[in-house]
Amino acid sequence: MSLRSNLSNNLFVANLQNVSLERLVKSKLEVLFEQQKESNVELSDLYTLVMEQVEKPLIELALRSYNGNQVRTAQALGINRNTLKKKMDHYKLTKRSVLQGAHSSSYSSPATTTLATSATYNVPDTNIPG
């Protein structure tokens, strides 16, 4: 890895830490659990739901930033190219759909469908502890 690449990677990691993705996710999950308690709806498959909500856009954005190049995208994500391909198939992502942005409503996980039909959870973007 070149010095320039290493510096860019370190800056990216520093920016990610400043954004505090963990705090953002935790805040949204706290609201979800509170609304779930209030509506007496039983959540199921929550782990899968959360992982899919994070993983799909991560893969989409990485593919877009590498112009659909699966080898470079897999390297950036730290996964095997075959694993990336399986995940793309799972989320019904193609190079064309990712680059055109036409993929956003093509995949609905069973967990998302279950949650959506059981209750509506409006998770606000504000009041995130900083």
CB-based contacts of 21, cutoff 8 Å, min separation 6: none
pLDDT, tens only, 76-119: 999 999 999 999 999 999 999 999 985 454 445 444 443 443 33
Give the count of domains, the chain: 1
pTM of the shown model: 0.61
Q: Is residue 111 part of a domain?
A: yes
Residue-range definition of the domain harbouring residue 73: 44-118
CATH number at residue 83: 1.10.10.60
DSSP symbols for 36-89: HHHHTPPP-SHHHHHHHHHHHHHHHHHHHHTTT-HHHHHHHHTS-HHHHHHHHH
For residues 60 and 93, is the Cβ–Cβ distance under 8 A? Answer: yes
Helix (H, G, I), strand (E, B) or coil at 117: helix
- Give the position of tokens 């800056």: 11
What pLDDT is attached to residue 2? 63
What pLDDT is attached to residue 123? 45
CA triplet 99, 105, 108: central angle to 5 degrees? 125
